[in-house]
Every structure is written in C-alpha cells, then in structure tokens.
Amino acid sequence: MKILYVTDLHGDEKKYNKVLEIAIEENFDAIINGGDMLPKDDVFFYEQNKFINGFLTTYFNELKQANIQYYCMLGNDDMGIVDRIFNVVVAKYTNIHIINHEPAILSGSKIQIFGINLVKDYPFRLKDRCRLDSSNDVPNAHQIGTPLMSTGTDLGDFIKFKVIQDYNDYLKRKPTIECALEGLPQVDKEVISILVTHQPPAHLGLDVCRNKDKVGSDAVYRYIAQAQPSLSLHGHIHESYFTSGFYANKINNTVCIQPGQDFSHLTYVDIEINGKDIKHKWRNIKI
C-alpha cells in the first residue's frame, strides 16, 4: 500500500495539482491530507466556501477518475462555518473520506484510519478549532487580537467573523483535546492503524516554530503512547522540519510523522506499508 501524506496546502492549487500528478505517475493507492486545506490569504479567507464548491469539487472528480482514495479533514485555518458545505460536497464521492472523528478503513486493505482536527490554543485570532490541551491547560498568554469565530448563513454562503466575548469561558465549555482523543475508537492492534491529528505531539521535534518555541500537545503525545497506533500523522507547524531537522520520530513502536510545508516547494511524505513494515521518505519538490 503506497500512501502520499501531505498537509497544510492552504488552497495552493499548484500544490494540489502536483500531488495528483505524483500520485498518478507513481501509482499511489491513497492520499491523506492532514488539514488546513483551504485558502487563507486576506481576500480568499472569506471565500473558502467558493473554493470547496469550485476547485476542490473539480479536484475530487479528478481523483475519482484516477481511482485514488482521498482521506482528509479541515484544519484550524479552515473556518468552522464551512464544515457543513464541505461535508455536503464530500458526501457525493465514494473515494473521498473525512477522517475527523469518522474512522475509516483504507480501501482495499485492513488499515484503520481516524483523526481529529483540533489544535491547542495559539496567538492567532480564528479560534473555531482551538481547545485546551487538557483540563489543567490555560489559554495562550499571548494573543494577537480579539478572539474570533466564523459565522454566517447556512451552507456558508456569506462568511463573517464574530467576536468571542469571554474567551476563557468559551474554552472551558469545549471538550479538551485530551477528551476528544479519548472519544476515538479503540486502536485495533491486529491491523495497521493510522492516527491523524493536525496538532503535532510534544517532545519529538515535530512542533518547533521558527523562533524555536515548541508548541506540541502533551495530550496527543500521551494518547499515542497509550493507544499505540502503528503510525501517527500531523501538520500545523509548517516550519518545524526546517527548524528542528525532524520530520519523523517514534513513541515506542509508533512512527510519528510531520512533514511541514515549504513556500515555493511542495513538501510531502511518501509512505509504503508492507504487512507490519512501514517505510517513509520526506520529499520536497520545486513546483
């Protein structure tokens, strides 16, 4: 089973197209996208719904024609208000699967795949998917501006932002990342299992920001150590590999991967699973 793992494409059409081209040329069975799928620059931020109905719909058709299975979820920069429209579009395709809280079996295999797209609180304003790591965590001390959540009419025809009045209270009322992980299905030790969390775990060099801050999740780390999936895939911190030099590490027998994402290059990881054997290679390709 050949899997192409990519994350944090942020609506970059050239990168999406290159991924498809590589998957076809190199006979990948499946693509996994770890989140932050939609455009986020100032103008396009408000048009994430149009990107889903436009480019992504065409892309999903191309994947279908190429007979490639696609496992994906939205991320923290993809507004919560577009979840519904994303679900509606994805439901039209039998080869596109949302893995956020929705476990799946990788087509043609016994490989179990599941994930969550929540992230630890950070300084950035869009808080739709921000949560406390565990019950003794606190909101990030540094905040760039007033915390916001996305809002708008049904199906996201008109996207706006709404100020979160009492952010501490908002976070306290939401289930923590630890809690969300506990709600995932039991890892089946008899088969290969893949956990995808947009938020990287702490302590592995997969969470290092440009200023060397480490922003990984202890809850994700503990969950992996206890549940022991065969493979865990992450994203979120684009520059981590370029800062720490690590795109992969291990927690006991679990292989943990966070490829990051480059600016002018497409960054991804080539994964080959043969029985219980997992091989992986970091790739960074000029586009």
To Zn ion, the closest distance from the beta carbon of 190 in angstroms equals 32
Segment contacting Zn ion by CB under 5 A, of 31-39, 63-71, 210-218, 248-256: 31-39
* The three-state (H, E, C) secondary structure of 65-100, written as one string: HCCCEEEECCCCCCCHHHHHHHHHHHCCCCCEEECE
Residue 76 near Zn ion by CB under 5 A: yes
Q: Which is closer to Zn ion, CB of 200 or CB of 229? A: 200
In the complex with Zn ion, the residue whose CB is nearer, 50 or 236, is 236
Beta carbon nearer to Zn ion, 83 or 193: 83
- Comparison of 193 and 199: residue with beta carbon closer to Zn ion: 199
CB of 7 to Zn ion, least distance (A): 8
Least separation in angstroms between CB 244 and Zn ion: 17
How far is the C-alpha of 283 from the C-alpha of 71, rounded, in Å? 20
Among 18, 50, 234, 236, binds Zn ion (CB under 5 A): 236
Which residue sits closest to Zn ion, CB atoms considered? 236
User: Is residue 75 a contact residue for Zn ion (CB under 5 A)?
Assistant: yes
Does the footprint of Zn ion cover residue 36 (CB under 5 A)?
Answer: yes
Q: Tally Cβ neighbours within 10 Å of residue 226.
A: 12
At 284, list the tokens.
């960074």
Footprint on this chain of Zn ion (rule: CB under 5 A): 36, 75-76, 236
